[in-house]
Chain A
């Protein structure tokens, strides 16, 4: 029986349920010190003085400043604009200025509190409008990190000729990833001597990002840097780029103190200082004909990148490409813009810009449908993109696409039409207002555009004399099931039981660079390399030994005669896909996962709280490798989407998050979620392992618009902004006289 398609239990499940799984904070080395960060109290200014308080044994504390950095004081990522430690100037509150290490964490905290960083203030910029006005330039020449323009057909002419034009403006707030394990790193660093180089163990998604960043920070060749992933307690993008900073900080302290140094953030520090989801504003002008055909989409998509570039251009790109959604329209213009403010960094977070632009789109499509005099579902049915049609960036949909089929099934599963009618009839006489809404959307799997081509990821599969197989990749298990699905994929390629396959702990001294664990690429892109490397290993055996029946016997014979038995596979673009970076057009993604989500909501008009009563999540993600793990991904993504939509509000004061606690930044508990009912359509994807596509980010995209559409029906108002807090909803309903 093939392993793919079976709900094989999680490989590291036993270690996790018994408490034996080892996370970075569980590590302890002899002579180890603790490290902490001293941060800027001010959002923008020039450091005038740093004063060290009295009564602290400063001689016993290791202090690292920007001047101690042996290599380049920049976090190597896309642009070299972010320092590891502020030197002279600070650009956001909580920016790292100093690092301290000592064996006693309590003394360290006292030391941190005794330090005063005096800053001559400069005028800060906190909103996208202030940034765009250009009155105060806080980054580059114009406060703009990046712009994109998607242009197809003649939008202005089509708008002029349209029967109806519908305009809307939508905004979304910042969101904290809130992995339950905070960021943490343990470093050993010695330049020269017996331990020559830098090694870090930690919580991370992307070992090779850290590897590259440490090499630049210490000005060392790659072979002197080693990065090891420990069990990682959730990431969601929050451990994509930030761990490069923390790894650098821990390593700097280790290098200066010549002792192992562990840095683990407490919750408050993790929340105030690390990356969040980009706040966004999207404006739509949409032209439709009398019979409900989309003829023009004019979209302006702006995101707030915070003080430094980080991954903002890539987030903007995905958000821009997803902005027109799963529709066919001959005339589309999308202007994407990412601006700089003096907020702490906004960075990678599951969905990566797409949840923001898709929230706007799918809320807006309900209004366009109404303006065209059509039910929300019928309007979409007339405009869904189909196989053979071309997207706004010029990608021909070569794979089967059946959004209408997904929509019909999702509406049936949720009893949408009957309920919508029933709620509409009952709402006027009830203090509990009910609504049901849906969202139709897609998510591109893998890196955008030419990203995968550039990464050129490598995977290795090796076998031992007793026929045990080991998969070597840099893809991290962060809860999503990497270890298990890679074992299933390799097992099927080799004709083995999944139990015979082990997935190596990501360690840059051992595994090849198979790219970062991001962008819904692990299963589809890297999983495909696991499959092809395993097939190559099998083919090597067959070539050298002829057709052998028993795998273990063949492995033994091969290794005895020829030595090491291993095979590697490197990414190559599949199926003639092409992308033009200059013109920003072509095959934006290898393929897309498609989905329709339906939410049912009740508003209590005494408290204006929204309760969700039901949630249907139907998607086509190619072949499902492991149904239990896949459902877990969808449910978790939907829950995170529900949090973003209803509860999770970052409260800013002078560019600083003031509710940096789990007590007042509210994520969903077990009491807050409806039943999340998950369904799959399985349409095998020709270039995925066993037919699978990417899955991880898709579920983050659909909850917000589906819920906003349901709440809009229930309240009889137009919800354009999330989170939909009771305060916001009350104001909206009172304004409308509801």
Chain B
């Protein structure tokens, strides 16, 4: 039967696990309901707003459009997996410093989209940033602070890496 429950194996934020559900269960719901990873948000449920953006095998996808069965054997990163322990990703630091988050509901997806861009393009220009974020809608900011945050992320990352290298022992306490 096509809709009999299935079990799939995948890796979520670095942890291997098994997810259960109907094959057409939205990955969004599996993450939020089964795994309590509620940082991934639902804004429209039809792949327009990008609030549910996650990384699936290194590609940015709308998790509301991914059926559970498609995630079998995949490597998933959600917003909960972007920071390393207490140490924020440079994009997250930049969103705080430059005012990229307002109400915060688009922020997890927006950050996933920005991280995905920076993985492809180390030092994006303004146009590349706009293009990379075009699938993520924000109603609060008018995007300007978000652009600034993303454009300044590489610099922040370099600064943070330099200070970690300089700090004795490095480690998660170093900023």
| Residues in A215-269 with C-beta less than 8 Å from chain B | 231-236, 266-267
> Which A1-60 residues have C-beta < 8 A from chain B?
7, 9-10, 12-23, 25-26
Closest to B40 in A: A19
Interface flags, A625-638, vs B, CB<8A=1, else 0: 00011011001111
Contact flag A639-B103 (CB < 8 Å), given A19-B79, A662-B46: no
A180 adjacent to B131 (CB under 8 Å) = no
Interface string of B116-139 (1 = CB under 8 A from A): 000000000000011101111111
Q: Are A631 and B39 touching (Cβ within 8 A)?
A: no
**Residues of chain B whose beta carbon lies under 8 Å from any beta carbon of chain A:** 32, 37-46, 48-49, 51, 78-80, 82-83, 88, 92, 95-108, 111, 129-131, 133-147
Given A635-B145, A662-B137, also A16-B101 (CB < 8 A)? yes
A639-B82 Cα distance, complex, nearest whole Å: 29
Residues of A within 8 A of B51 (CB): 180
CB < 8 Å: which of A9, A10, A19, A233 contacts B38?
A19
Max chain A CB contacts within 10 Å: which of B42, B99, B136, B145? B99
Partner of A628, one of B98, B103, B146: B98
Q: Do A631 and B99 touch (CB < 8 A)?
A: yes
B141, A635: Cβ atoms under 8 Å? yes
Interface centre among B101, B108, B130 (most CB of A within 10 A): B101
Contact B103 A266 (CB under 8 A): no
Of all chain B residues, the one with the shortest Cβ separation from A626 is B99
A479 pairs with B103, CB closer than 8 A: yes
Known: A9-B96, A17-B88, A662-B49. A670 touches B130 (CB 8 A): yes
Query: Looking at the complex, which one of A18, A177, A182, A638 makes contact with B80 (CB distance below 8 Å)?
Result: A18
Q: Are B137 and A19 in contact (CB under 8 A)?
A: no
> A142: CB under 8 A from chain B?
no
Q: In the complex, which of the residues A16, A18, A182, A675 has the most CB atoms of chain B within 10 Å of its own CB atom?
A: A16
12 intermolecular pairs with C-beta atoms under 8 Å apart: A10-B102, A14-B88, A19-B78, A25-B42, A178-B139, A179-B139, A181-B105, A267-B43, A632-B145, A635-B144, A673-B143, A676-B142
A635 — which chain B residues lie within 8 A by C-beta? 141-145
Q: A19-B108, A662-B44, A670-B136 are in contact. List 7 more A-B contacts (CB 8 A).
A: A17-B107, A19-B39, A19-B79, A23-B105, A181-B103, A631-B99, A632-B145
Q: List the B side residues contacting A637 at CB < 8 Å.
A: 142
Q: A179 touching B137 by the CB < 8 A rule?
A: no
Nearest CB of A to B171, in Å: 19
Q: A231's contact among B104, B129, B142, by CB below 8 Å, is which? A: B104
A632 in contact with B48 given A21-B104, A179-B103, A234-B103 (CB within 8 Å): no
Report Cα–Cα, A638/B139, bound state, in Å: 11
CA distance A632 to B40 in the complex (A): 23
B144 is contacted by which of A13, A16, A266, A676 (Cβ under 8 Å)? A676
A residues 459-506 with Cβ under 8 Å of B? 478-481
Least CB distance, B43 to chain A, in whole angstroms: 4
Does B104 lie within 8 Å of A12, measured CB to CB? yes
Are B140 and A632 neighbours in the complex by a CB distance under 8 Å? yes
CB-based contact A10/B101 at 8 Å: yes
Question: Does more than half of chain A's interface fall in helix, strand or loop, or is it mixed?
Answer: loop
How distant is the Cα of A676 from the Cα of B139 in the complex, in angstroms?
15
Instruction: Indicate if A649 sits at the interface (CB-CB under 8 A).
Output: no
User: B97: nearest residue on chain A (CB-CB)?
Assistant: A9
Q: Which residues of A contact B147 (CB under 8 A)?
A: 670
Chain A interface size, under 10 / 10 to 19 / 20 to 34 / 35 or more: 35 or more
Given the complex, which residues of A lie within 8 Å of B88, measured CB to CB? 14, 17-18
Residue in A closest to B94 when the chains form the complex, CB atoms: A17
Alpha-carbon distance A701/B82, docked complex (angstroms): 38
Contact A13 B108 (CB under 8 A): no
Residues A14 and B99 in contact, CB atoms below 8 Å apart: no
Nearest 5 A-B pairs (CB), nearest first? A19-B39, A233-B105, A479-B103, A639-B142, A16-B104
Q: Are A17 and B145 in contact (CB under 8 A)?
A: no
In the docked arrangement, what's the CA distance between A663 and B44, Å? 9
- Per a CB cutoff under 8 Å, which of B43, B100, B102, B142 touches A673? B142
User: Is A607 part of the binding interface, using a Cβ–Cβ cutoff of 8 Å?
Assistant: no
CA distance A233 to B108 in the complex (A): 12
**CA–CA, A232 to B105, complex, Å?**
8
Name the residue on A nearest B39 (C-beta): A19
A236: B residues at CB distance < 8 A? 139
Chain B neighbourhood of A234, CB < 8 A: 102-103, 105, 139-140
A661 to B, closest residue via Cβ: B46
Partner of B43, one of A181, A628, A675: A181
Inter-chain contacts of A14 with B (CB < 8 A) = 88, 96
Bound form: Cα–Cα A180–B43 in Å: 5
Query: How far, in angstroms, from A307 to B41 measured CA to CA in the complex?
Result: 33
Q: Could you say which residues of chain A place their CB within 8 Å of the CB of B133?
A: 670
Of all chain A residues, the one with the shortest Cβ separation from B104 is: A16
Complex alpha-carbon distance, A635 and B146, angstroms:
11
Contact call A267/B45, Cβ cutoff below 8 A: yes
User: What residue in chain A is nearest B37 (Cβ atoms)?
Assistant: A19
Contact (Cβ within 8 A) B41 A233 = yes
Within the complex, the shortest CB–CB distance from A356 to chain B, in Å, comes to: 20
Whose C-beta in chain B lies nearest to the C-beta of A267?
B44
A669 touches B134 (CB 8 A): yes
Q: By the criterion CB–CB under 8 Å, are B96 and A13 in contact?
A: yes
Q: How far is the CA of A58 from the CA of B64 in the complex (A)?
A: 30
